[in-house]
Chains A and B, each alone.
Chain A
Amino acid sequence: MTKAPPPSAPPRSEPASTSRAKRRSDGAAAEAAMRELLARIPRRFAYADEIDFTFRPDHAP
């Protein structure tokens, strides 16, 4: 295995004091946005609307 070249700029790590609170607020904002998307999902389907777990384009929809 060849070693990677050193990064051109040192990574900025999160300060330990802020990381937990920031993690919570970033996560909460992302979850709120996700809930907005989930609200768009139609909830009425007929029995014939199969679940499509094995998504394959060579199997007709």
Chain B
Amino acid sequence: MRLDPSAPPLTAAAASRALAAGRLTAAALVEDCLARIAAQDGRLSSFVLVEAEAARRAARRADAALKRGQRQGPLHGIPVALKDIYETAGIRTTAHSRLLLDHVPRADSTVAQRLKEAGAILIGKLATHEFAIGGPAFDLPFPPARNPWDPERFTGGSSSGSGAAAAAGLVPLTMGSDTSGSIRGPAGYCGIAGLKPTYGLVPRTGVIPLSYSLDHCGPMCWTVEDCALLLDAVAGPDPADPGSAERPYRASRGRLRGGIEGMKIGVVRHFYERDLEMDPEAAKALEAALAVLKRLGAKLVTVSLPPHEDWDACCRTILYAEAYAIHERDLKERPEQYAAITRARLTAGGVVSAADYIQATRWRRELRRRYAEAMDGLDALVTACTLAPAPRIEDAAKPPFFAVRGRLIVAPFNLAGAPALSLCCGFSESGLPLSLQIAGAPFADATVLRIGHAYEQATPWRERRPPLAK
């Protein structure tokens, strides 16, 4: 049994149905991914490690179990790849850094463990910006990932390999992490779906940390349905993660359908019309997306939140202070081991005083209160995510390495700990993806995914793959 390498890549949901019906084997699916990686990743650099033989062995075991009627669930036999900050037992985990080139964890991260238990097959480890904070860098042991819509373009970051691999169809399921946009930025620039779930929903145990109180783990896939599938496998309380939410997780995939008729959705226009500048093509695509939501039966109302600059300043103060605390010793003892861009960004955290940090955590409390008030009576919020098509990678890698003004609308949802989904809402004239963002109240992840799924089903954007994926 072989898959046609010239056919569009299978989504995880389609592959899962075919495996369950006996129309496909895990071995064929793994070979298809490996062939696509071999053919395309020389240009994309989305993988830092491919576990080909281990994946083949796991596929044979998965097929044997299926023959015995022992299916572990919808992810049984489906290939998955992890951003290289998720620790994997016996498999090197580098955070894309020279400092961790020889780091071979003894234990799996909780996410890797849960994926194994769900029957998914780890196919490799994905590029990231160094320690999930650097930018695209050419002074690291591995090259930066490139955007499959145009390899001269930036993927966004820091889950750069996840965005590139999922868009190119090298693997159907990928996991990223998001401290201030690191799932939604690459999802937006690479034209895929990326969910930053509610804070504490997906365990971070065994994930190399960046910011204790802002780090979120989440799925990045070609479709919203695949994000829901993956979220259902990895979400749920984890006593080993002090940030883990205590309430039991209710699966999202079964709640995707049903449409959005009668939902009340707030549009946060001032983020992209007043607070930050949006490219006209991207703005036009977002307006068209809002019209689709309206046509699907949602009621749209304009909503105000504190200015984006406030969210961004508060988020980055906390993020950089916490990141500096993690990296202080290495920054002092072996600064030359970091990429220049990572070092500059981490160094910025050194100027945050204890008073700044304390005030920022109080400010976060106030901003969260404002978010909860704005969400009152609404099912969700919609706003922009990326404000323009992906820039050129060489430009993104140039100084200044720390901009005062953000290029994405992401920080409000990290600070609020709220679920936020970035998804494709069209293409620029030059053929690059544009994005919209749907957010919700904490723990309303299923609602956010449902709206995203309804939008995706009503639009043609999933019919178009990057030229390299064809």
Contact = CB atoms under 8 A, between A and B. Distances in A.
Interface of A: 1-2, 4-5, 7-9, 11-14, 19, 22-23, 26-27, 29-31, 33-38, 40-43, 45, 49-58, 60-61
A61 B368 contact: yes
Contacts of A22: 340
A14 B364 contact: no
17 contacts: A4-B92, A30-B345, A30-B402, A33-B348, A33-B403, A33-B404, A34-B320, A36-B404, A37-B317, A38-B356, A41-B360, A51-B361, A52-B361, A55-B417, A57-B198, A58-B247, A61-B369
Interface of B: 42-43, 45, 47-54, 90-92, 104, 138-143, 198-200, 213, 242-243, 245-247, 309-310, 312-314, 316-317, 320, 335-336, 340-341, 343-345, 347-352, 356, 358-366, 368-369, 372, 399-404, 416-418, 442-443
A26 B343 contact: yes
Q: Is the interface of A mostly helix, strand, loop or mixed?
A: loop
A11 B397 CA distance: 14
A61 B372 contact: yes
A28 B345 CA distance: 10
Contacts of A9: 45, 138, 143
Given A7-B143, A34-B352, A50-B365, A1 B199 contact: no
Given A31-B351, A33-B400, A60-B372, 12 more contacts: A2-B53, A7-B142, A26-B344, A26-B347, A30-B402, A40-B309, A40-B310, A41-B317, A41-B363, A52-B365, A58-B200, A58-B247
A27 B317 CA distance: 16
B50 to A, nearest CB: 6
B362 A31 contact: no
Given A26-B344, A27-B343, A55-B213, A37 B140 contact: no
Contact of A27 (B336, B347, B404): B347
Given A27-B344, A51-B358, A14 B245 contact: no
